Amino acid sequence: MVGAAVGLFIFYSGLLLSLFFFVDTKQFWEVLAHPSTLFSIRLSLIVATVATFLALIIALPAAYALSRFEFRGKRMIDTFLEIPMIMSPVALGASLLIFFNTPLGELIQNKGLYFVFEVPGIVLAQFATIAGLATRLIKAALDEISPRYEAVARSLGSSPWKAFYQITLPLAWRGVLASVILSWAKALGEFGATVTLAGAMPGKTETMPIAIFSSLASANLDKTVVLILILVFFGLGTLYAVRLAGVKRRYD
């Protein structure tokens, strides 16, 4: 069993180490300092953060409702949260693209809200990809907190909102924080839905995953390797943050 774990570690480590074969330190900093690379990094960080924030606004109350209440259609709604997980990102992006060709979608764009081949389309594609995941992860965190704490608080005169804000949320904050971090990392690395809806226009909608694809297609291995390493850096950083969020202090 230990050998299997070590084998997987060697496999993934070998993939990462192979990247350094194609780029040295000087090339790395030259490619990193290039305006197109900096644009892709900056755009990716901004849109992933905005998409995660919007997803959190929806996911937190949705997760609380699914965790605490019984209502008609709950199972169906709970099941539909899995759509972004079972549906390929390209198919999800294609569905969004088709939606904006319907009368309702055209009406939205005619009102000045442009998504197709625009930066807001990146945010929408990432939101569609992570909203269900964020809700599922936050619900799992809330499920670990007994509803009795809220019931006791409400019996002492607290409002439902106050009981949630002062009792449940502080108890579940590590799980909620980990959910947000993982959702952000998922949005940062999203490719399929983004490129389908927003396109791959350099200097406009080229996020890091799209820049990796474009660079590889044009045989620009230096830029490809640098962007992959940056994504790996952010990915490992977020995973480490999740580990820290999951570690309980001794006096908790």
Integer angstrom CA distances of residue 204 from 6, 36, 113, 166, 183: 42, 10, 17, 43, 23
C-beta separation of 120 from 113 below 8 A: yes
Task: Name the residue among 93, 105, 102, 112 with its Cα closest to residue 197.
Answer: 93
For the entire predicted model, the pTM comes to 0.86
Predicted confidence at residue 16, as pLDDT, reads: 82
pLDDT tens, residue order, the chain (252 aa): 778 888 888 888 888 888 877 777 777 888 888 898 899 999 999 999 999 999 999 999 999 888 888 888 888 888 888 888 888 889 999 999 999 989 998 888 888 888 989 999 999 999 999 999 999 999 988 888 888 877 787 777 777 777 777 788 888 888 888 889 889 999 999 999 999 999 888 888 999 999 999 888 888 888 888 888 888 888 888 888 777 766 554 334
Predicted confidence at residue 252, as pLDDT, reads: 44
Q: What is the CATH number of domain 42-207?
A: 1.10.3720.10
Predicted confidence at residue 251, as pLDDT, reads: 36
Going from N- to C-terminal start, the domains of the chain cover: 42-207
The Cα–Cα gap between 228 and 20 comes to 11
C-beta separation of 186 from 129 below 8 A: yes
Write out pLDDT tens, residues 197-224.
998 888 889 999 999 998 888 888 888 8
Task: Name the residue among 212, 214, 217 with its Cα closest to residue 228.
Answer: 212
Q: Note the Cα 38 to chain centre separation in Å.
A: 21
Predicted confidence at residue 172, as pLDDT, reads: 84
- Sign of the alpha-carbon dihedral angle for 183, 184, 189, 190: positive
Q: What angle do CA 97, 116, 109 make, to 5 degrees?
A: 100
Write out pLDDT tens, residues 231-240.
888 888 888 8
The Cα–Cα gap between 173 and 166 comes to 11
Predicted confidence at residue 54, as pLDDT, reads: 95
User: First-to-last CA distance in the chain?
Assistant: 33
3-state class (DSSP) for residue 62: helix
Task: Name the residue among 206, 196, 20 with its Cα closest to residue 119.
Answer: 206
Predicted confidence at residue 245, as pLDDT, reads: 62
The Cα–Cα gap between 159 and 170 comes to 16
